[in-house]
Amino acid sequence: MGKMDKITELVNLLKHSQDPDSDFDEGQLKKGIEVESEHTNHPDIAKAIAKAHLKSCPKYYDYLLNMEKEHGCED
């Protein structure tokens, strides 16, 4: 199995990775991909992680960014 096949397999294992982008707020998904890209160099993995967070909390990245500002955790 090639590297891309393994990445695709991993992404497909993540909850909600196959949910259509239109199921999520466009701005939140964009923020989520940016934030999760801190942890991976693969945009599909970042998107899948963002979708999982947004499915449980639709404003997850607004809350996260506000919390980081409030507690001085920004880069």
pLDDT per residue as tens digits for the range 48-73:
999 999 999 999 999 999 999 999 98
Question: What pLDDT, on a 0 to 100 scale, did the predictor assign at position 23?
Answer: 97
Least confident span in 20-24, 38-42, 61-65 = 38-42
Name the pTM for this structure. 0.84
Please state, in angstroms and rounded to a whole number, the distance separating the CA atoms of residues 45 and 14.
Answer: 9
**Which pLDDT band, with edges at 50, 70 and 90, does 34 fall under?**
very high
Q: Are 74 and 68 in contact (CB under 8 A)?
A: yes
Question: What pLDDT, on a 0 to 100 scale, did the predictor assign at position 61?
Answer: 98
Residues 6 or more apart from 47 whose CB is under 8 A from it? 17, 29, 32, 33, 36
Q: Are 61 and 53 in contact (CB under 8 A)?
A: yes
In the chain, domain spans: 3-70
Q: Which of 66, 67, 36 is nearest to 50 (CA)?
A: 36
